Structure 1
Amino acid sequence: MNIFRKESLDAYLGADRRFAKTLSGLNLMTLGIATIIGTGIFILPGTVAATTAGPGVTLSFLLAAIVCSLAAMCYAEFASSLPVAGSAYSYGNVIFGEIIGWLLGWALILEYMLAVAAVSTGWSAYFQSLLASVGFKLPTALTASYNPAHGTYINLIAVLIVVLVGWIVAKGIRETMRINNIMVVLKLAIILVFIGVGLFFIKPANYQPFMPYHFSGVLKGATAVFFAFLGFDVVAASSAEVKNPQRNMPLGIIGSLLVAALLYMGVSIVLTGMVKYTHLDVANPVAFALNYIHHGWLADLLSIGALIGMFTMLLSMTYSSSRLVYSMGRDGLLPKAIAKIDHQQQPHRALWTVVTIVALMGGLVSLDQLANLVNFGTLLAFTAVSFGILPLRKRQDIPNRGFKVPLYPVLPIISGLACLTMICFLSKETLIAAGIWFAIGLILYLTYGYHHSRLNQK
């Protein structure tokens, strides 16, 4: 039983040639920005400043971005070398062997689908709050996940928003990217309006002391905000649909992270300059700061920005999830019927499988205790991709005329160790839940995936 058998790059390139290659570097940047920047940009800078880092939270975001950029460079090299669908799952199959690829894919399924389901419930909460402000209220039974004791049976808005996103993605990659690009521009405009307005209300005295919790507080803050940057990896899932992937994939992955870092730091500088950091430990610090300076109208605009931000996250991660599920079906580790590409050059079966599962999760299941599993899945993939650069460089059959991680092998090793360190910061409950998820995955692989794998047919 050879569970470490490896797939060839040529086989993947041949299978994925049915995709239309339409995505540009700009499309990939907006896809990454759509995923990285959500509601966290309106919350984390304030709460972390108040509880952990003070005005030095700006340095926390900088340090976290630097650590994330190491993993981003590793992803960029892989995406240049292996321009195929499936991201870390496909990389694992080619470099480490099928069992490692499967486990990475299984982790990414958890990451993507849980993230979409969790964001759909957050979008529902924001939207219901908006409806309540104009005097409209849904029946209690339709407002939250299944909990008869509290009179709730389904989160209808969460289900509907996931179905709407699925319908948009099904329209085709060009239509999806057009809508995504427009909404990302709107989201960025709202953030820049906040920064522009806030600059006029900065009081230098609010920056004193700059590091009230010392540099150790800045470091602790960096671990707290690190997860705000997760998401650029979804760009790698689109490799099979990219024009000139050797040039555009690194641009999309590293460029989206750079833009996100600048915006997070910009919001942090302005926010902690507008209001003393000790006052920012509230549910929505940015809205609090705007009301503090009597600009409530902009606080209302930020609520719309939060809805747009979550919608773009739903769009990008649903798209990426469908490409991941397609890839696993392509290889026979999930039923091959899922991997069918239709006349629109879209994996519709994979897409609607994802939409159905996520809609049921978001509509019926409380995800509060499971959200941290998203971070575990992401960090595990980051670790594998980082260390995977070492064997990738030794593969003579995988040429790379595009981006390469500088200071090889030092930076890939540092990146992998940094990601392992971040995994150790996760709670014991998260690690136990992840262990259970992987045990299920191993059973599924050994009883179904191994025997139905395309490699097994060879």
Structure 2
Amino acid sequence: MYRLIDKEQIMSFWKRIFAKADVKAATNADHQLIRSLKTRDLIALGIGAVIGTGIFILPGTVAATTAGPGISVSFILAAIVCSLAAMCYAEFSSALPVAGSAYAYGNIVFGQIVGWIIGWALILEYMLAVAAVSTGFSGYFASLISGFGLHIPKALSGAFNPAQGTYVNLVAVLVVLVIGILLSRGMRTSMVVSRVMVLVKIAIIILFVVVGLFFIKPMNWHPFTPFGLKGVLAGAATVFFAYLGFDAVSASAPEVVKPQKTLPRGIIGTLIIATILYVAVAIVLTGLVSYTKLDVANPVSFALDMIHQPQLAGVIAIGALAGMFTMMLTMIYSSSRLVYAIGRDGLLPNWFGHVTNGLPEHSLWTVTIIIAIMGGFIPLDQLVNLVNIGTLIAFAFVSIGIIPLRRHKDIDNQGFKVPGYPVVPILSFIFCLIFMTQLSVETWMMSGIWFAFGLIVYFAYGYRHSAK
């Protein structure tokens, strides 16, 4: 009798945690959100997330230490690998235009516990990424205004560390709160600002490329692969993480006009434009200055000084600020929609799933305030690597998830489909696993703590309150 009860309880337990979300209910759950985003808006969101300060730093430092001038090939290889995952995201977003991105996809094709793990990973990714970038924004802003003789008091310029005389990073807090206010005014207003910022950023990148073309010395490209093919491949593994922001585009699904067509265009368009910009900067940068000299904190500004164009350095700082602002806007937007979706499903309190005037304001302001506190008061140096593992976990599940998606009897996708099925999804999954092995032991240990905490939250609350 006891054995029978135990067996029944165990079967009930496993059935519940792997319960799959109902497709019809999931696709109809977000009717309160306003559909206003078009392809150009999604590309602006995507470029906003993918092209940040990294474009002014990564090509130089990776060229100097890992790939040499072959860094341009590294970016192309990384984009090819990333495009495999991008196509998987595009198919999922076409088949299931629902809030929550990879969390929702996992919930539907794998079951509740898998969806929760993906969602928990992405919550960490989004919040840490924005908090870290907010501190970078603060640094660039302080540098820019110092040129006008203005200075931020030391006490207000860094995370809480009385021994060093810093108590709060005021600019980091304020920029996050400004973005929260902007997003609370609705996506139309937010997208106008985002598109303007993205255009400014792209214009400044193009300005650097065009000016730089006149000062290129082809001899700087020789040898093209000083570290050999191994260096180019290692460079690809490093710069791969520069592309990870595009997945934020799929979070906008319930607010997109004609999502089956628009979402795949936004995701793939983001990747193509980002690749062109990264490769162009890499080619010009390594042509301006020998790769051996580029292992500096600001390689683009350094190169401009080397060719006696220091006046453009200030312009680059503006481009960096625009890049960081749009990245934070996209990530705060995406994380608020993720928390909204998890709350809507009952895995977090339903309060997070509340919608006011077409916006999930409760989740938006919760996310905004937490990020502002993290960016303003907490040193994040050792935690930023967790951003990569969170995204790779989502990529891996979305990639292999195409197989059960195609077999799902309740899903009839008439939109985009991954070419080369099932080879492409399996290859994408394998590459994600390979890139995970490149992460440090410390990163795995810290992520293990985060996921253990996440499982405690799930079994203490989500398991008991799930809407399913």
With the length of structure 2 as denominator, give the TM-score of the two structures.
0.96
Matches within 5 A, 1:107-122: 107-122=121-136
Amino acid at match of 1:224: T
Tell me, which stretches of 5 or more residues in structure 1 are unaligned? Answer: none
- Give the corresponding residue for 2:409: 396
- Aligned match for 2:50, one of 31, 36, 41: 36
Mapping for residues 110-189 of structure 1, pairs under 5 Å:
110-189=124-203
Which residue identity lines up with residue 371 of structure 2 in the other structure?
Answer: V
Q: Distance in 1 between matches of 2:40 and 2:157?
A: 37
CA contact (8 A) 2:57 2:297 kept: yes
Identity of aligned residues (%): 59
Aligned twin of 1:412: 425
Distance 1:282 1:340 in 2: 47
Aligned residues: 454
1:430 Cα deviation from its structure 2 partner: 0.4
2:5 alignment counterpart: none
The answer to whether structure 1 residue 357 and structure 2 residue 367 are counterparts is: no
Letter in structure 2 aligned against 1:87: S
SS at match of 1:399: coil
- Of 77, 86, 98, 2:112 maps to 98
Please list, as runs of the form range in 1=range in 2, the aligned pairs for 1:191-230 lying within 5 A after superposition. Answer: 191-230=205-244
Letter matched to residue 265 of structure 2: L
Residue equivalent to 2:360: 347
The residue identity in structure 2 corresponding to 1:444 is V
Alignment partners' CA distance in 1, 2:168 and 2:280: 39
Name the structure 2 match of 1:300.
314
CA distance in 1, matches of 2:190, 2:152: 29
1:88 and 2:102 are equivalent in the alignment: yes
Quote how far apart the aligned CAs of 1:396 are.
2.0
Distance of 1:219 and 1:338 partners within structure 2: 43
Residue 258 (structure 1) aligned with residue 311 (structure 2):
no
Tell me whether 1:247 sits opposite 2:261 in the alignment. yes
Question: 1:139 Cα shift?
Answer: 2.0
Secondary structure class of the residue paired with 2:116: helix
What does residue range 302-321 of structure 1 map to in structure 2 within 5 Å?
302-321=316-335
User: Quick one: which of 386, 390, 400 aligns to 1:387?
Assistant: 400
| 3-state DSSP of counterpart to 1:43 | helix
1:362 maps to amino acid: G
SS in 1 for 2:284: helix
Which string of whole-angstrom CA distances, capped at 9 and with x for unpartnered residues, describes residues 412-447 of structure 1? 000001001111100000000000000000011001
1:71 is aligned, of 65, 69, 85, to 85
Alpha-carbon distance between aligned partners in 2 of 1:379 and 1:121, rounded to the nearest angstrom: 24
**Matches of 2:422 and 2:120 in 1, distance apart?**
28
CA distance in 2, matches of 1:81, 1:63: 28
Q: What is the CA-CA distance between 1:125 and the residue it aligns to?
A: 0.9
Cα-to-partner distance string for 1:17-75 (whole Å, 9 max, x where unaligned): 11111111111111100000001101111111111111111000000000000000000
Q: Deviations over 1:282-327 (max 9, x none)?
A: 1111111111111111111001100010000011111111100100
- Which stretches of structure 1, 4 residues or more, deviate above 4 A after TM superposition? none
In structure 2, what is the equivalent of residue 288 of structure 1? 302
2:107/2:115 contact within 8 Å kept: yes
Shift of 1:264: 0.4
CA deviations on 1:247-274 (whole Å, 9 max, x unpaired) are 1111000110110001000011111111
One-letter amino acid of the structure 2 residue matched with residue 367 of structure 1 = L
Instruction: Say which SS state the counterpart of residue 16 (structure 1) adopts.
Output: coil
Partner of 1:17: 31
Where do 1:318-337 residues align within 5 Å? 318-337=332-351
Q: How far off is 1:8 after superposition?
A: 1.1
Partner residue, 1:425? 438
Residue 458 (structure 2) pairs with residue 445 (structure 1) = yes
Aligned residue number for residue 378 of structure 1? 391
What's the TM-score, normalizing by structure 1?
Answer: 0.98
The C-alpha deviation readout for 1:193-234, integer Å capped at 9, x for no partner, is 000111111111111111111111100111111111110000
SS at match of 2:37: coil
Give me the whole-angstrom Cα distance separating, in 2, the residues matched to 1:96 and 1:275.
50
Would you say the 8 A contact 2:144–2:314 is kept in 1?
no
Aligned to 2:467: 454
